[in-house]
A and B are shown apart, each in its own frame.
Chain A
Amino acid sequence: MNNEKPALQVSALCNGTVIDHIPADKLFAVVNLLNIPQMSNNITIGNNLESKKLGKKGLIKVADVFFTDDEVNRISLVAPKVILNTIRNYKVVEKREVKMPAELHNIVKCANPACITNNEPMATHFYVTDPDTGIIKCRYCEKEINVSNVELL
């Protein structure tokens, strides 16, 4: 793939993942969510890069790592519109926009201290009732909360 802006050349990676269009203020949250500080791979992190869509954006390139759906779902909770590019042999073989899934299995903690999930050794389970505003509903206590107010597990 040819890209005119050398700083954003996704093809510079032989194999791996480029996570693009991260809102600049969410970059480090995404870095932590993906456990990037614990990785020993070749990693490039850029921030405050120019972006037509976002003004300023962050970007992460990780060599030889391909994220699972579960890991990708976690990103959608802090940065719902990021783009994941999967690179194989210098080519973008898949480009997908991260979307909030319909259900969140054991990804976030229920904000209600009286919820059974905070008192019993068990997995949490939320339904995304409004993906645009980020409203999620606990399957157990049936309380609705905004994802921006929840703690990740």
Chain B
Amino acid sequence: MAMKNNSLVSINDLSREKILSLLEIASKFEENPNRDLLAGKVIGSLFFEPSTRTRLSFETAAMRLGARVIGFSDAATSSATKGETLKDTIMMVSSYADAIVMRHRLEGAARYASEVSPCPIINAGDGANQHPSQTMLDLYSIKKTQGTLENLHIHLVGDLKFGRTVHSLLHAMRHFNPTFHFISPEELHMPEEYREFCRKNNISFTETTEFNEEVIASADIIYMTRVQRERFSDLMEYEKVKNCYRLTNAMLEGSKPNLRILHPLPRVNEIAHDVDDNPKAYYFQQAQNGLYVREALICDVLNIEI
């Protein structure tokens, strides 16, 4: 039986108003992250697929709110290895926990869990599909550094074909009249589905394979992603482009003063280490913002007023 609850499954389910109100709540947690709002509550943290960064961020968020956490960090230690269905695992844990944070390798797993679970589900990533808390922390970082989400020039760089984070960001930004600049090698360019989405939603965009000082001069936000070797069918092609999408400090000389550089992390070599000390580098604070955003998301699904 499908049950109605207040789950967070996909960024596409959130209205403009909902996004802005969640960001507002997150900013309150930035002022004071330690609040005993969830004393006596238990949060289930079900990571069927390992993800240290996201798991630690969610579990820290729950603990700073005063909740206790149960769960597993790898499907190998859950009964999924014994052939238990996702539904059965969710039914079991939902009888212990007040809310469930879950990461699963299968796409749509969180949607399905939200239909069968009596307690709310927060999607912490379902395969290549959705990772709404990442998108929310990206939005939070953009708003915090630019003072607004409206009318910004956002440059997406690197793997735009498989990059789940850039696709979700593009969807979420539709409410805020952005201009996108897609910068990627031919093999990893933005899929037609998303370009069509931009046209339908009157979002202007440009596309180029060049990544240089000139191309980023108009940027308010540069969102870097990793160009992964395993994505290339032709390894010669990879060798040719692997260093073309690398941001160096020298490239930032003519950039706008308000420019900030984001990256979902982990970074490998697409951002040179000399960028780290530039005040425009924002990726470590961005990750930290994830904590405040996740505190806001947990309170929201539990209908806790801040």
Q: Are B130 and A114 in contact (CB under 8 A)?
A: no
* Residues on the B chain within 8 Å of A122, using CB: 87, 112
Task: Using CB atoms and an 8 Å cutoff, list the residues of chain B in contact with chain A.
Answer: 10, 12, 85-87, 104-109, 111-112, 126-130, 193
A116–B109 CA distance with the chains assembled, in angstroms? 5
* Residues on the A chain within 8 Å of B85, using CB: 120-121
* Residues on the A chain within 8 Å of B112, using CB: 116-117, 120, 122, 140
Q: Are B86 and A114 in contact (CB under 8 A)?
A: no
Closest residue of chain B to A139 (Cβ to Cβ) is: B111
Which of B104, B106, B129 contacts A142 (CB under 8 A)? Answer: B129
Residue total for A at the interface (Cβ-Cβ under 8 A):
16
User: What distance in Å separates the Cβ of B266 from its nearest Cβ neighbour in chain A?
Assistant: 22
Which of B86, B127, B129, B130 contacts A120 (CB under 8 A)? Answer: B86
**A96 contacts partner chain B, Cβ-Cβ < 8 Å:** no
* Residues on the A chain within 8 Å of B127, using CB: 114, 141
Interface of B is mostly: mixed
User: What distance in Å separates the Cβ of B204 from its nearest Cβ neighbour in chain A?
Assistant: 23
Given contacts A142-B129, A142-B130, contact A115 B108 (CB under 8 A): yes
Which of B105, B107, B111, B130 contacts A112 (CB under 8 A)? Answer: B107
**A95 contacts partner chain B, Cβ-Cβ < 8 Å:** no
User: What distance in Å separates the Cβ of A46 from its nearest Cβ neighbour in chain B?
Assistant: 41
30 contacts between A and B (CB under 8 A): A112-B107, A114-B105, A114-B107, A114-B128, A115-B108, A116-B86, A116-B107, A116-B108, A116-B126, A117-B108, A117-B112, A119-B106, A120-B85, A120-B86, A120-B106, A120-B112, A121-B85, A122-B112, A139-B111, A140-B107, A141-B107, A141-B108, A141-B126, A141-B129, A142-B10, A142-B12, A142-B107, A142-B130, A143-B107, A144-B193
Q: Are A120 and B12 in contact (CB under 8 A)?
A: no
A6–B111 CA distance with the chains assembled, in angstroms? 54
Q: Are A138 and B193 in contact (CB under 8 A)?
A: no
* Residues on the B chain within 8 Å of A141, using CB: 107-108, 126-127, 129
Q: Are A116 and B87 in contact (CB under 8 A)?
A: no
Sorted from nearest, which 10 A-B pairs have the closest CB atoms?
Answer: A140-B108, A141-B107, A116-B108, A141-B108, A116-B106, A116-B109, A140-B111, A116-B112, A114-B107, A114-B127
Closest residue of chain B to A121 (Cβ to Cβ) is: B85
Q: Are A142 and B193 in contact (CB under 8 A)?
A: no
* Residues on the B chain within 8 Å of A142, using CB: 10, 12, 107-108, 129-130
* Residues on the A chain within 8 Å of B130, using CB: 142
A143–B106 CA distance with the chains assembled, in angstroms? 13
* Residues on the B chain within 8 Å of A120, using CB: 85-87, 106, 112
Closest residue of chain A to B10 (Cβ to Cβ) is: A142
A143–B109 CA distance with the chains assembled, in angstroms? 13
A121–B112 CA distance with the chains assembled, in angstroms? 11
Q: Which of A88-145 contact B (CB under 8 A)?
A: 112, 114-117, 119-122, 138-144
Closest residue of chain B to A140 (Cβ to Cβ) is: B108
Tell me which of B107, B128, B129 has the highest count of chain A C-beta atoms within 10 A of its own C-beta: B107
